[in-house]
Amino acid sequence: MLRSTFAGFTTAQLSMASSQRALDVVGQNIANINTPGYTRQRLDIASLNTKKGDFYNANSSIKVGFGVEMTGVSQLRDPFLDIQYRSQIAKVGTSDAHAAGYEQLATIFDEATLDGVRDAFRSITSSLQSFSSESGSDEFDSMVRSNMQVLLNLLRDDSIRLQDIRNDMQTGFASADIADVNEIIQNIANLNKNIKNSQILGNPALELQDERNSLLDELSSYLPITTNYREQTVGPGYTVEVLDVVFTDANGKKYKLISDGLYGSLDAEVRELPVTVNISDVMGNTSDVTNLLGNGTLKGTLDILNKSGDFDNTDVKGLGYYEKALDNLVDTFAKAFNEANKALKTDANGKVVEPHEWEDRPLFETKDGSTDFTAQNIKIADKWLSGEYRITKSIIPIDGQIGSTASDNINNMIDLMGKDHSFVVSTTVNGTAKTTTFFTGSFYDCFAELENVLGIDAKSAETMLSNQIIVLNQTSNSRDAISGVSLDEEGMNLLHYNQSYNAAARLMTTLDEALDKLINGTGVVGR
């Protein structure tokens, strides 16, 4: 078969067109070098050969293609790096939520530069010592009571602030975090529809895909997700790519959050403890995934809200740990002093009743009448406040009476402030009663230990967050090396495609000269 006379011009024209379009793509990349989330684009080309084989073939029949075909414009992305990045950003989300929670707690328990609970314990000890040396004066009883009231006010304020942190976190979790996740899921599903419609019309919608990828990265920071791209037939011999987004819980169960244009949602219940999260997939199936999130900001926030560390056999000392520990400190303190202030019963003449009988003269009571003291329900006993009785100075009878100036019981209270106490929290874990001794020492040291535990937890979370951010940045840099726009590389592409265009133009000129010679320079012999 003879080659078409003008086939070479078609080859040159296609080459010039592809080089020109490639320059357009390079220009698009350069124009968007500072656009957040933009993915570098490239022109996809393939060798074009529309010539069929001859019925009779021979070695002298040399087949040559007809130039180049532009098959589309695509993005340069590495799916494996996307998976790595989204897995790592979920871990960063967990540590970031932990660090943020501990940072809020530090405003309560960090008394390095404040006169707070620890200073109040010291003041009580000091006033008791003064009372011991001047036990004949009831003025010092009022001083001790005033210092006790200061301590209760500080402890109550700490407990209220803990509750405020919990309320703020719960409100933010439901109205911000969960709402943001649902909005992102809906936006991705809408983008799926728009991308699909654009692809059906022949537009790859790369900018919409960039926007979708940015939303997928953002969604990954809240909870661990995986993406699945599949081909969907939309007409005879024509398919488009659609996206499914799947959440896999800690037990390996999969929930399809987004499928093409369909989408599920998350819902949080924050009115009672523990705070719970339910997930509804695209089929409408709902499951409780509170303890199955694996990683992400949602998990980190739930850890702070729901977990109590050693008290409930969990791995995070959240708000519950500090609430229970603070209440137990108050309960141990109040019961120890109420027990210490018991007095021997006396008759109308002030004589000690024989045999010895004890009467309760509590220094502290609960506002709600319960038997356990908490930082918010404790108060100074009404009878001590009204002066019906005072601190029991002595419990040693002298000549049948309690000595008016003896101070053995006050000294006992001073010893109570410095002696070791066991601080034990009782909880129920999975229906089983559990008691945990979280500290043994003085009241002052117990509160100091809460500061130390918080400091260790906060430092650990910050270190973990810092390390994970380093890994995330490394993965991001690797991804940007492929997907990001490099001026050096695009500059080389400009030169490359410009030279390619010039060469194709030179090919057309050469073909023109050959055709001119064929038409005007042949067939003139003998004229």
Is residue 202 very low, low, confident or very high in pLDDT (cuts 50, 70, 90)? confident
**Structural element, H or E, at residue 424:** strand 421-429
Report the pLDDT value the prediction gives residue 399, as an integer from 0 to 100: 52
Say if residue 485's pLDDT is above 90. Answer: yes
Report the pLDDT value the prediction gives residue 356, as an integer from 0 to 100: 62
- For 78, 176, 219, 338, 369, the CA distances from 183, given in Å and listed in that order, are 27, 10, 10, 55, 47
Sheet holding 286-288, edge to edge: 265-269, 276-280, 286-288
How far is the first Cα of the chain from the last one, in angstroms, to the nearest whole number? 32
Residue with tokens 């080309």: 45
pLDDT digits (tens, 9 = 90+) for 419-436: 999 999 999 888 889 999
pLDDT digits (tens, 9 = 90+) for 394-422: 776 555 455 555 688 888 899 999 999 99
pLDDT digits (tens, 9 = 90+) for 101-116: 999 999 898 876 667 8
Q: How many residues does this entry show for the chain?
A: 527
Distance (Å, whole) CA 313 – CA 316 = 9
Is residue 175 very low, low, confident or very high in pLDDT (cuts 50, 70, 90)? very high
Three-state DSSP class for residue 35: coil
Distance (Å, whole) CA 57 – CA 322 = 88
Say if residue 1's pLDDT is above 50. Answer: no
Distance (Å, whole) CA 26 – CA 14 = 18
Report the pLDDT value the prediction gives residue 136, as an integer from 0 to 100: 66
pLDDT digits (tens, 9 = 90+) for 315-359: 999 999 999 999 999 999 999 999 999 877 665 565 666 666 677
DSSP 291-338: T---SSHHHHHHHHHH-BGGGTT-S-B-HHHHHHHHHHHHHHHHHHHH
Say if residue 526's pLDDT is above 60. Answer: no
Three-state DSSP class for residue 109: helix
Distance (Å, whole) CA 106 – CA 456 = 11
Structural Rg of the chain based on CA atoms: 40
Report the pLDDT value the prediction gives residue 59, as an integer from 0 to 100: 62
Q: Would you call the peptide bond into 362 cis, given omega within 30 degrees of 0 as the criterion?
A: no
Where would I find the beta strands (DSSP E) of 80-224?
A: none
DSSP 196-214: HHHHHTT---HHHHHHHHH
Task: Kindly state the average pLDDT of the residues 219-235.
Answer: 92
- For 50, 288, 484, the CA distances from 203, given in Å and listed in that order, are 25, 40, 22
Distance (Å, whole) CA 105 – CA 321 = 11
